[in-house]
Amino acid sequence: MADREERVMIFIDGSNMYHSLKAYFHRSDIDLNKFCEKLVNKRKLVRIYYYNAEVGQREEPERYKDQRAFFDSVEAIPYTELRLGRLVYTNAWPNTPPYEKGVDVMLATDMLTHCFKGNYDTAILVAGDSDFVGALQAVKDYGKHVEAALFGEERTSVPLRKVADVVHIIDGNLLRGCWKAPPPQPRQHRPHHPRPPQPQQPQQAQSQTPLQAPPPFTPTLSPQPPAPPPSHQLPPSPPPQFLPRPFNPDG
């Protein structure tokens, strides 16, 4: 292997990768081609195998359309093979989620088959399931190099760490430049700038002349006109007149 370029094959558990990206980075819009280029790191890439389970078209038509569009983008990547298992829907659907069928076995079989055929020198496994430990150990025993790309500090990946010759931790540094769109930026809060104090108006110079108290208030009484006589008063009576009594001889 020292006399020729090191040949690399990558085997990706797509479901594990999708859910791990969502859990650790809250997004899944990864550029698979750029991600694999970082793992290969100037070695010779032979092929990428991407494994997943196909959503039921009848059970989940909208999700099926979205997943199908993503699978088309995977198949457009050079030297990439899409390998699909299936999702099994039970009678408890939709209360119980479906489960994958045939994906893990397909990945392990492909890894071993290409190993025995001598199609690669190094196998890189992108997964977190400890069920792949047996396949990695068999490849390693056959004289090949095995590498594991793992997310975070998952307990399930501890056995894979032990058997792998090289471990790639999938973190923000490894994924820098591998996203299809810039990461969402946190909302910027505008800094609060207190208003500068307003300049005070210059006070006018107070007069040195002491203030004098105003003169005391003296009310002025106006003469009141005589009150008119009440309208119901009668005019004065004329003096009585006394007439002479006529003379009566009888008496």
Pairing assessment for the beta strands 122-126 and 99-101 based on DSSP bridges: unpaired
User: What DSSP string describes 134-162?
Assistant: HHHHHHHHTT-EEEEEEETT-GGGHHHHH
Name the CATH topology of 7-50+100-175. Answer: Rossmann fold (3.40.50)
Return phi, psi of residue 227, to 5°.
Answer: -75, 135
Q: Where are the domains of the chain?
A: 7-50+100-175
Amino acid identity, residue 243?
L
Tens of pLDDT along the chain (251 residues)? Answer: 556 899 999 999 999 999 999 999 999 999 999 999 999 999 999 999 999 999 999 999 999 999 999 999 999 999 999 999 999 999 999 899 999 999 999 999 999 999 999 999 999 999 988 899 999 999 999 999 999 999 976 666 889 999 999 999 999 999 999 998 776 666 665 666 666 666 666 555 555 555 566 666 555 555 566 665 555 555 555 655 555 555 555 55
Q: What is the pLDDT of residues 162-185, one digit of tens each?
A: 999 999 999 999 999 999 877 666
Coil, helix or strand at residue 18 = helix
Q: Edge-to-edge strand order for the sheet containing 145-151?
A: 99-101, 80-88, 44-54, 7-13, 122-126, 145-151, 166-170
* pTM of the predicted protein model: 0.71
